[in-house]
Structure 1
Amino acid sequence: MTTPSSEQDKLVRVLARGDVLALAFGAMIGWGWIVLTGTAIQSAGSVGAILAFIIGGLAIIMVGLTYAELASAMPKVGGEHVYSYRALGHLPSFLCTWAIILGYLSVVAFEAVALPTVIEHLAPNYAVGHLWTIAGWEVKATWVAVGVGGSLAMMIINYFGVTTAALIQKVVTAMILLVGVLFVTGALFEGETINMMPLFTQADTGVVAGIVAVLVMVPFLFVGFDVIPQAAEEINLPYKAIGKVLMMSVILAVVWYALIILATSLALNSTELAASSLSVPDAMGSLFNAPWASNLMVLAGIAGIITSWNAFYIGGSRAIYALARAGMLPAPFAKLHPRYKTPTNAIFLMGFLSCIAPFFGRPALVWIVNAGGLGIVIAYLFVAISFVVLRVREPDMPRPFRIRHGKLCGTLAVVLSFGMACLYLPGSPAALSGAEWSIFAGWSLLGVGLYIHALRTYGRAYSDQHMMADL
């Protein structure tokens, strides 16, 4: 029988501090800030949206603190997989990692739909060749081709090694930051505070419901810092520094989203926001009164697609690789390229699933975001519980990045993660739709099948032997 351990190659430590920061921050800013900022402001009001992102950001920071301590204590590929295995055991570890893989795949698939969508802003008539209609939206051949082409390009970049992917990540993230600074500066000098009205949306559902609707977006938009622990065996930093860089990336992302919402609400009034399909580029164009400014922001959005796409190819493929290496997924997914040291089959799987997404058209954008968001917060909950368990059961475990008041922070992370998960359940103002539950259920059933297959093929003893050797 072929076992995952038969692959003798190891991942190589090549990622420096700047690479890691660009990887996580670039993953978190992505494309969502371009397409969802206007929706957030309309749902909760300008201040309501900022407040929602700050509340959600604080929750993510609490979870991030648990990640930072665990990542520095156990710098092994797979991140959540390793922490939950040590604290909770075999099955919870699989459930946790399978949930975060859904989150990563949702981002990768989201970008495959986002790219052809944003190209429409630059070339409005490029989508031709009717294929079919989904949820009232026409899927067209050239539109699908752009999404599939982008997916294949990102797959190829990641196939040729993490060093190449990290270099691209740094360059493109720097471009996004420059455009963002230009946008916020322009808004502070040229924007109008009257445009920020209403500060809180007064709809029939009330102020709180509007803020909750924006809070549901937060886990999806902030996912990305957890790419750092996924790639831990490729990071060439002192273990304590891994935790510091992780927390820095989360704080920078909170500040980024708050400033983008502020700048957009200063630039466009509520009527202009309602008429805008891409609020941030339209806000940029309004501030500078020039089409080039709007197009520049669209290009920054495309750059965000690249950084997020790239980071989650890295994170998702490493999570799949980690499960396979532990005998929880079929052995071929534990294969590393002999030269580039990349998990090639895991990358191919990510690429295949990403290529499928555009065939479902733009309605898939919202379905994928929400279903993946639930997977993300479930993984966060598992990690927070693992953090608390290890603090109690193994108080003397070496922790290079040991946070103060750990039990309190861990308990808060558990409560906040559980609270975020409840936002997706029936009865919540932002409960998942039938299509979104179908995506989540389908992914869960696939996981059950693969888990049973792995147990029958390798057995739990193999996983225990492999994981204990690493830990």
Structure 2
Amino acid sequence: MATKKSDFDKVLSAWDVLVIAFGAMIGWGWVVSTGDWIMEGGVLGAMLGFAIGGIMVFFVGLTYAELTSAMPQCGGEHVFSYKAMGPLGSFICTWMIVLGYVSVVCFEACALPTIVAYIYPDFLTGYLYTVAGFDIYASWLAVAILVSVFITAINIVGTKTAAILQTILTVIIGGVGILLIAASALTGTTANLEGQLFMGATTTDMVKGTLAVAVMTPFYFIGFDVIPQAAEEISVSLQKIGRILILSIVLAVLFYALIIFGVGYVMNNSEIAVAMKGVGGLVTADAMAVAFGSSIMAKVLIIGGLCGIITSWNSFLIGGSRAMYSMAESYMIPHVFAKLHDKYKTPINALLLIGLLSIIAPFFGKKMLVWVVDAGNFGCCVAYCMVAISFVILRKKAPEMARPYKVSHYKLVGAMAILMSGFMVVMYMIPGSGATLVPQEWGMVLGWSVLGVLFGFYCKAKYGSKFATHIDVAVDNEAVEEAGDLAFGQAMAAALHDVESDAPVTYVSQPLSFSFSMPVSVVFGAGKRHMAGELFKAYGTKALVVTDAATNGRDIVNEVEKSLKEAGISVARFAHITGKSLDITADSAVDEIKKNGSDFIVAIGGNTV
């Protein structure tokens, strides 16, 4: 099977991987929605809801962990689904995840100046117009546009630069969250928990409240899937990538649960209800003020949450640009999006497009972007379900595939991941579920789907046999550890050690050269393509070079042909092989041999060639 060398630089350490995923998952939701969660399910009910939701995402995360370690290539879902379901399944899966990533980036561009306005109300000046009841101000737009340009530029300059920004902001978020939890533990009282451990007069009502929270929670965990998108840029072993991915999910569940407890421990039910009716309804910020006895600390927490907006924004910009790059590499969308920056090795055109969308988005107001995000969440859940299905298919279809992070009891894990991710998708469709898409959101899903179909037809017509092709990236053996199953506790301990040690993998390229006969002759080593003429001249004076669409035009084909011609061998080329070549293709090649009177064939490309 043909492979290629990765075009990306391996710059992300174990810590970088963790903060990119964890920072994306904790985001801003814990500042805005904690009061809603408690009022819906109660303190303990909401914590259990997040635990249940975390279990759902945990099973999906296990499938991602195994597949990422087995296929550490840019695009993640694109590669997994391509191997399992073929081009159509891959197109649908990746197109849906791109919708999810882009929608979050655009929403965060609106969320950030909105929070600035909450902290500094006088900041809003220069009223322009109103969209769906949301007032647009010149100062509000200016902040949104400036930050959009800044974050896009940071990502273009390099993935490592973006990871450093992510680290700084995630540490701030974590520090503020820890302050709230610690202060609540010291100043709160169990009396505040009375009457709000669970919500509802009956056990049935309490269960419903808990499940209502559980249904919402998976959408707050979207973000761990950024790890497989950037897999080619990670400089830790493949087994560690899987462990860190799972660790990020576990830490996110703990963070949300402890924040819920901290708020409920320091504020009773009536105080939370009053806070929810206040300006902004930011119950978590009010809890911070109560815990420290200072209104200033409320703004400190909001600033911490503000960092969460940027971490989500940053992570999803990374994920969205890599997903677009992988589709462009397969000629499923215009190939221009597969261009990498000459110096920084980042997908510059994909980043510029998403960055441009984040600049345009604030002009449409926050209400419309809420619809976009809900549609995007639906897209992410569809992709999760397809990845879970791909996990099961590949265990059956490719049992011999190397899996450095191999999941135990794959049938159970696969079934749970499919059922739970499928459940998320269904919740968007069932009226009254609490997550049902409104007509405007369904319109956006439909519009995005139509755009995907148009892209597909356009690229099929433009690129022909190159459309929906895929070449694997060669895996460095040094990045592969011995596969082995670990118990959950052992796996978590190992993952924490991976992040603590933060030692990058050293990739060593050893020059090899050897020859052997069995009874055919194999000549192996660097530069052997330039010896083609010398090696083949004993077989005749006319050669037919057979290759495929993906390889045709690459330097290797031209260099082999040049070497043949320099040895006095005339050359004809047959470049019509595809991954789905039929007998008619072989017959055409035979006709070409007869036409040119070829003495021998030189095959360059993948296994079909």
TM-score, normalised via structure 1 length: 0.93
SS in 2 for 1:139: strand
Match of 1:200 among 198, 210, 228: 198
Q: Please tell me whether the aligned partners of residues 212 and 429 of structure 1 are also in contact (alpha carbons under 8 angstroms).
A: no
Instruction: Give the match for residue 445 of structure 2.
Output: 440
Instruction: Give the match for residue 420 of structure 1.
Output: 424
Change (3 A) 1:454 1:206: farther
Instruction: Give the match for residue 264 of structure 1.
Output: 263
Question: Hey, what's the Cα distance between the residues in 1 that align with 2:190 and 2:292?
Answer: 17
User: Shift of residue 147 of structure 1?
Assistant: 1.7
Question: Hey, what's the Cα distance between the residues in 2 that align with 1:369 and 1:19?
Answer: 26
Match of 2:342 among 325, 338, 343: 338
Counterpart amino acid of residue 225 in structure 1: F
Instruction: Give the match for residue 3 of structure 1.
Output: none
User: Shift of residue 102 of structure 1?
Assistant: 1.1
User: Shift of residue 406 of structure 1?
Assistant: 1.0
Counterpart amino acid of residue 250 in structure 1: I
Query: Over residues 366-407 of structure 1, what are the superposed CA-to-partner deviations in whole Å (9 max), with x where a residue is unaligned?
Result: 323321211111010000000000111111211000011011
Q: Please tell me whether the aligned partners of residues 388 and 410 of structure 1 are also in contact (alpha carbons under 8 angstroms).
A: yes
Q: Please tell me whether the aligned partners of residues 5 and 473 of structure 2 are also in contact (alpha carbons under 8 angstroms).
A: no
Question: Hey, what's the Cα distance between the residues in 2 that align with 1:192 and 1:100?
Answer: 43
Relative to its length, the structure with more strand (as a share) is 2
The alignment's C-alpha RMSD in Å is 2.2
1:38-187 equivalent positions in 2, closer than 5 A: 38-187=35-184
Change (3 A) 1:9 1:73: closer
SS in 1 for 2:429: coil
Instruction: Give the match for residue 27 of structure 1.
Output: 24
SS in 2 for 1:131: strand
SS in 1 for 2:376: helix
Q: Please tell me whether the aligned partners of residues 66 and 242 of structure 2 are also in contact (alpha carbons under 8 angstroms).
A: yes
Matched, 1:459 2:464: yes
Q: Please tell me whether the aligned partners of residues 183 and 263 of structure 1 are also in contact (alpha carbons under 8 angstroms).
A: yes
Counterpart amino acid of residue 202 in structure 1: G
User: Shift of residue 314 of structure 1?
Assistant: 0.7
Instruction: Give the match for residue 292 of structure 2.
Output: 288
Match of 2:400 among 374, 379, 396: 396
User: Shift of residue 300 of structure 1?
Assistant: 0.6
Query: 1 or 2 for the larger relative contact order (CA 8 Å, sep ≥6)?
Result: 1
User: Shift of residue 462 of structure 1?
Assistant: 4.5
Change (3 A) 1:134 1:27: same
User: Shift of residue 208 of structure 1?
Assistant: 5.1
Question: Hey, what's the Cα distance between the residues in 1 that align with 2:401 and 2:252?
Answer: 30
Instruction: Give the match for residue 274 of structure 1.
Output: 276
User: Shift of residue 125 of structure 1?
Assistant: 2.2
Greater shift after overlay, 16-25 or 456-465?
Answer: 456-465
Question: Hey, what's the Cα distance between the residues in 2 that align with 1:142 and 1:465?
Answer: 46
Matched, 1:358 2:382: no
Q: Please tell me whether the aligned partners of residues 107 and 366 of structure 2 are also in contact (alpha carbons under 8 angstroms).
A: no
Change (3 A) 1:214 1:135: farther
Matched, 1:411 2:415: yes
Query: Over residues 117-156 of structure 1, what are the superposed CA-to-partner deviations in whole Å (9 max), with x where a residue is unaligned?
Result: 2112220121122222233232222222222222111111
Question: Hey, what's the Cα distance between the residues in 1 that align with 2:190 and 2:277?
Answer: 19
Change (3 A) 1:279 1:138: same
User: Shift of residue 212 of structure 1?
Assistant: 4.6
Query: Over residues 250-307 of structure 1, what are the superposed CA-to-partner deviations in whole Å (9 max), with x where a residue is unaligned?
Result: 1101111111111122223332342242121111111101122111111111111121
Q: Please tell me whether the aligned partners of residues 130 and 138 of structure 1 are also in contact (alpha carbons under 8 angstroms).
A: yes
Q: Please tell me whether the aligned partners of residues 99 and 379 of structure 1 are also in contact (alpha carbons under 8 angstroms).
A: yes
Instruction: Give the match for residue 237 of structure 2.
Output: 238
Question: Hey, what's the Cα distance between the residues in 1 that align with 2:157 and 2:320?
Answer: 16
Counterpart amino acid of residue 456 in structure 2: Y
Segments of 5+ residues of structure 1 without an aligned counterpart are 1-6
Greater shift after overlay, 286-295 or 88-97?
Answer: 286-295
Question: Hey, what's the Cα distance between the residues in 2 that align with 1:372 and 1:239?
Answer: 29
Greater shift after overlay, 200-209 or 60-69?
Answer: 200-209
SS in 1 for 2:471: helix
Q: Please tell me whether the aligned partners of residues 226 and 318 of structure 2 are also in contact (alpha carbons under 8 angstroms).
A: yes
Q: Please tell me whether the aligned partners of residues 9 and 341 of structure 1 are also in contact (alpha carbons under 8 angstroms).
A: no
Counterpart amino acid of residue 451 in structure 2: L
SS in 1 for 2:136: strand
User: Shift of residue 206 of structure 1?
Assistant: 4.5
Q: Please tell me whether the aligned partners of residues 321 and 346 of structure 1 are also in contact (alpha carbons under 8 angstroms).
A: yes
Question: Hey, what's the Cα distance between the residues in 1 that align with 2:466 and 2:336?
Answer: 19
Of structures 1 and 2, the larger Rg is shown by: 2
SS in 2 for 1:217: helix
Segments of 5+ residues of structure 2 without an aligned counterpart are 476-605
Question: Hey, what's the Cα distance between the residues in 2 that align with 1:147 and 1:171?
Answer: 21
User: Shift of residue 469 of structure 1?
Assistant: 8.5
User: Shift of residue 203 of structure 1?
Assistant: 9.0
Query: Over residues 181-206 of structure 1, what are the superposed CA-to-partner deviations in whole Å (9 max), with x where a residue is unaligned?
Result: 11101111212334343333339994
Question: Hey, what's the Cα distance between the residues in 2 that align with 1:145 and 1:434?
Answer: 31
Question: Hey, what's the Cα distance between the residues in 2 that align with 1:407 and 1:117?
Answer: 46
Change (3 A) 1:106 1:211: farther
Task: Count residues with an aligned counterpart.
Answer: 465
Counterpart amino acid of residue 198 in structure 2: F
TM-score, normalised via structure 2 length: 0.73
Question: Hey, what's the Cα distance between the residues in 2 that align with 1:200 and 1:438?
Answer: 37
User: Shift of residue 445 of structure 1?
Assistant: 1.6
Question: Hey, what's the Cα distance between the residues in 1 that align with 2:268 and 2:437?
Answer: 30
User: Shift of residue 362 of structure 1?
Assistant: 2.8
User: Shift of residue 428 of structure 1?
Assistant: 3.9
Query: Over residues 306-344 of structure 1, what are the superposed CA-to-partner deviations in whole Å (9 max), with x where a residue is unaligned?
Result: 211111111110000110011111011001000011111
Greater shift after overlay, 356-365 or 101-110?
Answer: 356-365
